[in-house]
Amino acid sequence: LLNLGEPETLPSGLRADALAGVTPNSTYQFIPQSQHFSFLAECSQLGKLIIGLSSEPSEDICSDKGVRTREEIHADLLNLIVPFLASALELSS
C-alpha cells in the first residue's frame, strides 16, 4: 500500500498505514514531500496558470506544494512500483 505524502499530513480517509496493519501480507510505503495529485503528469505552463487562477489552493492539481519536483516524485514511484510488479508477475507465472 502506498501513500503520496507523509501519513501525519494526510486526511484520515486517505491514509493507508492503518489498512496495511490489518491486511495480511501487505507492506506500507509513502512518498515524502508529495501530495495526492503528484501522480499526475506535469502540467504545462498554461495549465499551471489556468488551474492556479481558477481553483482553490487545496484543489490545485498542478502544484505539489513541496520542495520536490513532480519528476523526482515520479522517479520514486517507479522505483517502488516496478520492482513490486515484477515480483508479483513472477509469482503468478
Greater pLDDT, 92 or 5: 5
pLDDT band at 93 (very low <50, low <70, confident <90, very high): low
Greater pLDDT, 47 or 66: 47
Kindly report the backbone phi and psi dihedral angles of residue 21, in degrees, each rounded to the nearest multiple of 5, phi listed first: -70, -20
Calculate mean pLDDT across residues 61-65: 83
Model pLDDT, residue 74: 96
Count H helices, E strands: the chain? 3, 2
pLDDT over 70 for what percent of the chain? 97
